[in-house]
């Protein structure tokens, strides 16, 4: 059984988490939240990373949905972490990669959406 992970923030750190998770069969990324990035640009930034190179697998973004290597990932566009429905995509762990919600109180807002643990 794999660990189901959500990523809050799909900037440099969030994309690195996604790349590392894609290589690990024990981790499944099931959700990504970023209120500032549309799915087509998520696909482009992940696929063609200027530092880490081109992602070797399949990356698609169609009709507001994002998928990596054939695995569909829920996409949220919420500014407030308490409004992200992590439970709807089955995320047990959330990686807080925005650099904003780094206190216990602020990171704890992810619990309202269904997360069980938050990694800062």
pLDDT at res. 78: 97
DSSP assignment string, 29-78? EEEEE-TT--HHHHHHHHHEETTTEE-SS-EEEETTEEEETTEEEEEE--
Give 62-118 pLDDT, tens digit per residue: 887 899 999 999 999 999 999 999 999 999 999 999 999 999 999 999 999 999 999
pLDDT at res. 72: 96
**CB–CB of 94/117 below 8 Å?**
yes
pTM for the whole thing? 0.96
Give 36-62 pLDDT, tens digit per residue: 999 999 999 999 999 999 999 999 998
* C-alpha span between 97 and 6 (Å, rounded): 10
* C-alpha span between 14 and 35 (Å, rounded): 13
pLDDT at res. 64: 79
Helical pair 39-47 and 12-23, crossing angle rounded to 10 deg: 70
Q: Is the dihedral of CA 39, 44, 46, 47 positive or negative?
A: positive
pLDDT at res. 103: 94
* C-alpha span between 15 and 12 (Å, rounded): 5
**CB–CB of 86/94 below 8 Å?**
yes
User: What is the CA angle 83-86-91, rounded to 5?
Assistant: 160
- Position 1 pLDDT exceeds 90: no
């Amino acid at each position: 059984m794999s660990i189901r992970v959500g990523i809050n923030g799909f900037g440099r750190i969030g994309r690195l988490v996604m790349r590392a998770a894609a290589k690990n069969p024990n981790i499944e990324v099931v959700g990504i939240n970023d209120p500032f990035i549309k799915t087509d640009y998520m696909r482009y930034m992940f696929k063609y990373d200027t530092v880490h190179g081109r992602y070797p697998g399949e990356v698609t973004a169609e009709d507001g949905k994002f998928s990596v290597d054939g695995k569909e990932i829920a996409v949220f566009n919420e500014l407030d972490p308490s409004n992200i429905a992590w439970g709807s995509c089955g995320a047990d762990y959330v990686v807080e990669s925005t650099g904003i919600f780094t206190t216990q109180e602020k990171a704890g807002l992810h619990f309202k959406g269904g997360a069980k643990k938050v990694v800062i």
